[in-house]
Amino acid sequence: MTILKTALFDSHIAAGAKTGPFAGYDMPLYYKEGVLKEHEWVRSSAGLFDVSHMGQIYLEGPGVVAFLETITPSNFAKSAHGVAKYTVMTNPQGGIVDDLIITRVNDTKFFSVINAGCKEKDIAWMTDHLPADVKLTRLDDRALLALQGPKAEAALRDVLGINAADLGYMRLMFIDDLIVSRLGYTGEDGFEISVPAMKAPDLWAKFLANPLVKPIGLAARDSLRLEMGYPLYGHDIDDKTTPLEADLGWVMGKGNESFIGAANVLGKTLARKRIGVKLTDKGIAREGAEIRNDKNDVIGMLTSGGHSPTLKSSIGMGYVDAAYTNPGTKIFVTVRGNNIAGEIAALPFIPARTKSAKKAAA
């Protein structure tokens, strides 16, 4: 199997990155300072990620809104121009094909970023359900950078002269040949910047020349998203998980009852649900660890887990029987045959610091 490289691969090597395979690409896992320092830098300043392995597409045509409300349970008819939505595509069984961000550009055109590992599957799924009056255009000639952290807005202004003070969270703007969206996967303020691939190395270098910015690898991206309780496809959500089981009911638009798989989602009693777990004793819980009650009965399993640099403790996400979902419920996580004490925790584990639309208008 051929391992792909993004337009920034040589830039990562020059910066001392340790790379490894991820979603078919050779990607930077971490740089010289290591994962912990990178995680802390994003929480305190501004980190720069290469996420060019993700897919970027346009969907446009007279029937695009109806199409989106068929393949997802969300509402798009009243979405304002420039507003992004996190949502999921569903299959006939009600399972999640993938999660994705969809942004309305104008009345008949939407921009979407899709997960790297599901890129080809997602595009094939959309194409299979595409009506005659909607066109899908791949943007394979564009790279994607994520600038994340409390000083991201300042770095964007210093490096590119872009004043994003009035751009709210989950909002998009076009600046010359850049598509700048105020969103991300870290829980911090920040931006995803779509740029022509041939211009990406120069843009990367300009950002890293700013003292506020350091390069961040995928390992820290994972620990950052875990602290926020953001699900990772193929781990925390998959094609057998419904949006309600995944605790993503908030993406389901009122009145949209005709999406694919609706009959297997709406009105169903939940037997299990995605929750957060925090260990209260020493140990690190990883994906696949069993979750048990005080009678040592298995009540669920972790789907993500690791050390939280911010909380200085082990945290994770997983699914448990519906009777055990209340935050504070005492549980045990089995690690190498030992039961480690923990509790069900509310998600996110730490408060998000994204910029709200209200703040942006102030």
At 163-216, the pLDDT tens digits run: 999 999 999 999 999 999 999 999 999 999 999 999 999 999 999 999 999 999
Supply the pTM of this predicted model.
Answer: 0.95
Mean local confidence (pLDDT), 63-77: 98
Asked whether residue 226 carries a pLDDT value surpassing 50, the answer given is yes
CATH of 269-345, one of 1.10.260.40, 2.40.30.110, 2.60.40.10, 3.60.21.10: 2.40.30.110
- Report the amino acid identity of residue 189: D
Q: Tens digit of pLDDT for each residue in 303-356?
A: 999 999 999 999 999 999 999 999 999 999 999 999 999 999 999 999 999 987
Helix (H, G, I), strand (E, B) or coil at 9: helix
Q: In this structure, which topology does domain 56-136 adopt according to CATH?
A: Alpha-Beta Plaits (3.30.70)
- Give the pLDDT of residue 355: 87
Angle at 253 between CA 247 and CA 257, to 5 degrees: 100
- At 130, the pLDDT band (50, 70, 90 cuts) reads very high
Residue 110: closest CA among 153, 152, 77, 150: 77
pLDDT at 361 over 80: no
- What are phi and psi for residue 354, nearest 5 degrees? -70, 155
Contact 80, 168 (CB under 8 A): no
Nearest to 58 by CA among 148, 167, 174: 174
pLDDT at position 33 is 97
Q: What is the mean pLDDT of the chain?
A: 96
Please state the three-class secondary structure of 182-211 as a single string: CCCCCCCCEEEEEEEHHHHHHHHHHHHCCC
Q: Are 297 and 305 in contact (CB under 8 A)?
A: no
Only one residue has tokens 């399993």, namely: 301
Domain boundaries, the chain: 9-53+140-227, 56-136, 269-345
End-to-end CA distance of the chain: give it in Å, rounded: 51
In this prediction, residue 362 has a pLDDT band, given cuts at 50, 70 and 90, of very low
Half-sphere exposure of 95 (CA within 13 A, CB side): 10
3-state class (DSSP) for residue 40? helix
The residue type at 200: A
Q: Residue 358 above 60 pLDDT?
A: no
Q: Please, which residues have CB within 8 angstroms of residue 141's CB and are 6 or more apart in sequence?
A: 196, 197
Task: Select the CATH number that applies to the domain covering 9-53+140-227 from these four: 3.40.50.970, 3.30.2270.10, 3.30.1360.120, 1.10.3720.10.
Answer: 3.30.1360.120
